[in-house]
Amino acid sequence: MDPNTSKVKEEKPRQHVLSKRLDRVFGELFNIYAFIVRFFKEAFLPPYEGGEIIKQCYEIGVKSLPLVSLTGFIIGIVFTNQSRVSLAEFGGTSWLPALISVAIVRALAPLVTAIIAAGKVGSQIGAELGSMKVTEQIDAMEVSATNPFRFLVVTRILATTFMIPALMMYMVFIALMGGYVSVHQHEQTSFTTYFIQVFNAVTFLDVFSSLIKSFLFGFTIGVVGCYKGYHSSKGTQGVGKAANTSVVMAMFLIFIEELLSLQIITALR
């Protein structure tokens, strides 16, 4: 047998497998694009599901407050204690409030809030919509003349988009309070002096950029969770996969968005 002929036969299955994988990847990207485009179309067309949006804001925002509060307070204390050691070597512990405020407002609060929400909210949305998909509840809503995409998807994406920035600002306050507890315990800094230094170190660009990032993170969490849940299949196994993939993919995209936004903000400074 000609060796060249055998090589050609071996390469054909490999090319076929690669072609199928590429088709699957580009098909998935197109479906995500169509999903996002449909969201923007449905979001601005009446009727508006105001009651469901408020309910989802409560589920996403209010029910996340205990976890955000505990995490933010611990971050403030831990970051302050870790930074004190380095600043003490140069006699610069008086700069602790400014350092804490810059680190928390610029990076820690938006990123940590988004990661917490991706784990708690993203998995919840993916599992909830996935279970509704495999139990044919979404199909039942279509039969009953209800728009399931607007009621289930649009409301959740809007809720995550608006509530993640609110949770981020709340975490900023809680983390700064945790930092104050540590600073007051070691340096005996007064409450007024501490927050004067905090506000003097933060600029409008810091706050504005963190809010924009939080809106983007919230939109990403909502889109990923809803997309994976709305298109889940294979029964209960698909529900678990939708929840897990929602968390992993949302965190992956959040870190990429953080990296890109950091480059843009640094250029603006």
**Distance in angstroms (rounded) separating the CA atoms of residues 69 and 157:** 23
- For 19-54, what is each residue's pLDDT tens digit? 677 777 777 788 888 888 988 888 888 878 888 899
Residues 133, 151 within the same domain: yes
pTM of the model: 0.87
- For 219-264, what is each residue's pLDDT tens digit? 999 999 999 888 887 677 778 888 888 888 999 999 999 999 888 8
Residues 34, 136 within the same domain: no
**Distance in angstroms (rounded) separating the CA atoms of residues 87 and 125:** 43
Q: Which pLDDT score, from 0 to 100, does residue 252 have?
A: 92
Residues 89, 112 within the same domain: yes
Residues 223, 126 within the same domain: yes
Which of helix, strand or coil describes residue 47?
coil
Q: Dump the DSSP string for 155-205.
A: HHHHHHHHHHHHHHHHHHHHHHHHHHHHHHHHH---HHHHHHHHHHH--HH
Residues 155, 32 within the same domain: no
Residues 136, 254 within the same domain: yes
Structural domain harbouring 105:
51-268
Residues 60, 97 within the same domain: yes
